[in-house]
Amino acid sequence: EVQLVESGGDLAQPGGSLRLSCAASGFTFSSYSMNWVRQAPGKGLEWVSYITGSGTTIRYADSVKGRFTVSRDNAKNSLELQMNRLRDDDTAVYYCARDRSGVPFDQWGQGTRVTVSS
Amino acid sequence: SYELTQPPSVSLSPGQTARITCSGDALSQQFIYWYQQKPGQAPVLLIFKDRERPSGIPDRFSGSTAGTTATLTISGVQTDDEADYYCQSAGTSSVYVFGSGTKVTVL
């Protein structure tokens, strides 16, 4: 069974940093690209970041470019999102989602909540 | 930036057919995907590549496209289908883009 479990969400101050993790199991992690998607309270879904299975191709939404860094450790089946210079509008539930070839978000984690507030 | 436009809400009675549209200038050249999100839960993939259903998704859910508009159809809607529904496709300046979402209420 495919499982994606996010962790690391917390309360952070504006300008601060957080590191999110996504533990994957039930599939060959290194064979799949992965995404981060977020959802602000009461709002819709927003794609945040994409990384290929090898980690060689990485993309970011304009809203987080230069502040967030995605990485992965295929030996540990883990996806990470380093979030720096946090802003109030980064407050959201952050989901990791598997990217199967031709199907961008075929499996989702349960999400981890990030609150940015002073 | 590229946007996918969905109606904010759809209300209907059990047994009726719900049709949720998603419009985007580039949809005639791109695949569309649909997700269902119930309150407090993660989204679930409903339809991929315009009209394909993942295993386990009831055949009450179907997808279609016509030009720059895609439609998710829920036939014989049930109270359990109350949820937010999002369309998604490839973006222009971003890798992926989601529609604004449609809240389906079953009265």
**Distance (Å, whole) CA B20 – CA B47:** 13
Centre a 10 Å sphere on the Cβ of residue A70 and count the other Cβ atoms it contains: 22
Q: Which two tokens stand for residue A15?
A: 């300008």
- Residues B14-39, mean pLDDT to the nearest whole number: 94
**B34 close contact with A: CB closer than 8 A:** no
Give the nearest chain B residue to A59 (CA atoms).
B95
pLDDT of residue A16: 98
Strand partners, A37: A47, A95
pLDDT of residue A116: 98
A47–B96: do the CB atoms touch at under 8 Å? yes
Cα separation of the two ends of chain B = 36
Count of A-B CB contacts under 8 Å: 59
Contacts of A18 (CB under 8 A, 6+ apart): A8, A9, A10, A12, A83, A86, A114
Give the nearest chain A residue to B8 (CA atoms).
A44
Question: What are the tens digits of pLDDT across the range B73-107?
Answer: 999 999 999 999 999 999 887 889 999 999 999 99
Contacts of A55 (CB under 8 A, 6+ apart): A71, A72, A74
B100–A61: do the CB atoms touch at under 8 Å? no
- Residues B24-48, mean pLDDT to the nearest whole number: 94
Å between A52 CA and nearest CA of chain B: 12
For the stretch B61-82, what's the b/e string if a residue is b when 16 or more beta carbons lie within 10 angstroms of its beta carbon? Answer: bbbebeeeebbbebeebeeebe
**A10 close contact with B: CB closer than 8 A:** no
Per DSSP, B21 falls in state E
pLDDT of residue B42: 98
Tell whether the model's pLDDT for residue A40 goes beyond 80: yes
**Distance (Å, whole) CA A76 – CA B26:** 38
Three-class SS state of B93: coil
Are residues A16 and A82 in contact, defined by beta-carbon separation less than 8 angstroms?
no
Are residues A21 and A80 in contact, defined by beta-carbon separation less than 8 angstroms?
yes
**B31 close contact with A: CB closer than 8 A:** yes
pLDDT of residue B94: 82
A108–B42: do the CB atoms touch at under 8 Å? yes
Give the nearest chain A residue to B34 (CA atoms).
A105
Tell whether the model's pLDDT for residue B2 goes beyond 90: no
- Which of B104, B86, B65, B103 has the alpha carbon at shortest distance from B3? B86
